[in-house]
Amino acid sequence: MQSRRRSEALFQTALAHLPGGVNSPVRAFRAVGGTPFFVQSASGAHLLDIDGNRLLDYVGTWGPAILGHAHPRIIRAIQRAAERGTSFGVPNPLEVDLAVRVKSMVPNIEKIRFCNSGTEACMSAIRLARGFTRRDLILKFDGCYHGHADSLLVKAGSGALTFGHPDSAGVPADFARHTMVLPFNDEAAIRAAFSQRGSEIAAVIVEGVPANAGLYLPLPGFYEAIASLCREYGAVFIFDEVMTGFRLGQGGGAQKVYGLQPDLSCFGKIIGGGLPVGAFGGRAEIMDLLAPLGPVYQAGTLSGNPLAMAAGLAALDELNDSDAYTRLDALGEQLEAGMVDAARRAGIPVCWQRIGSMFCGYFTEGPVNNLADAMKSDRARFARFFHGMLSGGVFLAPSQFEAGFISAAHTPADIDRTVQVAAQVLATL
């Protein structure tokens, strides 16, 4: 790794102008120490920082870069769209095309609305569920992050968890009291919650797989229990696929993997090809309560932005036309096998979690099935591991509580190199 003097100097400038020097908290490296680097460009599976360091990237802009950075098909689509105008504020054909495409790939979505971020999608889905049921109570799970809307920043994951404040200041207590938080994978707890307050519950919202407190997977029957209880008590089942949507395969993502039919689904990231985007969709009888048809208000000047729609169409087309998912699964298996073996040989306790091309290595014996388990991980050891990997030219998420992402631009040789660097670093821990 070369010097990072230019990044360090620029970060000092940024501190004077941006809160914490960043525009999103986890980028600040507070969880691992040190100062962040600044990216000059990205291509394929690599980042190039302003000091000339070339890094093998497993952050992938936190998920959207499933095809790698600056994929030619996506770049061409954005260029063609930009030549016709960057924003209209009125309907454009591309938003209809992308709606049709997403619906064709996710059978249980009858209608969909685009917005500008995953946060906005989840916030709007919650409002819609409350309008549909005429109830107020939302049930979520600790460690699950659904964006920074007030109702959802209660026992959240992602950056809030990284900084040790899973509840945000500025969220009125009156908002928080309408959100019930339960442990993930605790079927008895959710059954008890519905038994006691089922008539008050407007919706249950859950991530496709919780990927904002690292990565842990649902135990058999857990999601099925949620779906069944929502049907029994008339609550709306909201599946947050902002990260998992179209990353774990077609058909939405996790909902196809687990054979679910949620009432509403939230998307983002991949369906915008790396540009700012969000979407929520589901049953027509619920979606038709949105303005202008119904009383639930939601709007956005940049919703359905032509650049994001064009990029999303190009990304989904490429995923359809290629063997990307097969290669992603193979790369995920190769990385898991190599990392598990490297940790074993180093005698370091690491609980490796993976689904498809998403992964996380917790520095704990495991198992990790929920937030309480994740919190047992050795964060100081992770920080040393992170910086060792970064010095070796491999960029992982700068927090123990974030998932990693493999792209279709990664190669088996990239995975081998990653494992080799990891083995060297683990040997020093």
Report the catalytic residues.
Answer: 145, 240, 269
- Predicted confidence at residue 1, as pLDDT, reads 59
Closest listed residue to residue 236, CA positions, set 308, 296, 293, 183: 296
Q: How far is Cα 208 from Cα 266, in angstroms, rounded to an integer?
A: 10
Residue 199, CA distances (Å) to 155, 194, 196, 380, 426 in order:
23, 8, 8, 44, 51
Instruction: Quick: pLDDT tens for 175-220.
Output: 777 889 899 999 999 999 999 999 999 999 999 999 999 999 999 9
The per-residue pLDDT for range 215-266, each reduced to its tens digit, is: 999 999 999 999 999 999 999 999 999 999 999 988 889 999 999 999 999 9
CB 180 within 8 A of CB 223: no
Classify domain 72-320 by CATH architecture.
Answer: 3-Layer(aba) Sandwich (3.40)
Tell which wins on pLDDT, 166 or 76. 76
- List, for residues 321-377, the tens digit of each pLDDT value: 989 999 999 999 999 999 999 999 999 999 999 999 999 999 999 999 999 999 999
Look at residue 165 and tell me whether its pLDDT is greater than 50. Answer: no
- Pairwise CA distance, residues 259 & 245, whole Å: 14
CA–CA separation, 158 and 360 (whole Å):
13
Domains of the chain, residue spans: 5-70+323-426, 72-320
Sequence letter at residue 429: L
d(CA 284, CA 337): 44
CA distance 416 to 339: 10
Q: What is the average pLDDT across 136-141?
A: 94
Instruction: Specify the fold of 5-70+323-426.
Output: Aspartate Aminotransferase, domain 1 (3.90.1150)
* Distance between CA atoms of residues 403 and 60, nearest Å: 11
| 3 state SS of 279 | strand
Location of structure tokens 């599976």: 45
Edge-first strand order for the sheet with 201-207 is 111-115, 278-282, 264-268, 236-240, 201-207, 137-141, 179-182
- Phi and psi, residue 80, nearest 5°: -65, -40
Q: φ, ψ for residue 113 (rounded to 5)?
A: -130, 135
pLDDT at residue 150, as a whole number = 66
Cα gap 294→342, rounded to integer Å = 56
Query: In this predicted structure, what is the pLDDT of residue 191?
Result: 96
Average pLDDT over residues 382-386: 98
Greater confidence (53 vs 249) lies with 53
Give tens-digit pLDDT for 21-35. 999 999 999 999 999
CA pseudo-torsion sign 374, 377, 383, 389: negative
Predicted pLDDT of residue 107: 87
pLDDT for residue 153 = 61
The predicted pLDDT at position 172 comes to: 74
Sequence-distant (≥ 6) Cβ neighbours of residue 178 within 8 angstroms: 136, 137, 138, 151
Percentage of the chain beyond pLDDT 90 is 88
Q: The whole model's pTM is what?
A: 0.94
pLDDT at 252 (0 to 100): 83
User: Across the chain, what does the average pLDDT equal?
Assistant: 94
Domains 5-70+323-426 and 72-320 share a fold: no
Strands 39-43 and 54-57: what pairing?
unpaired
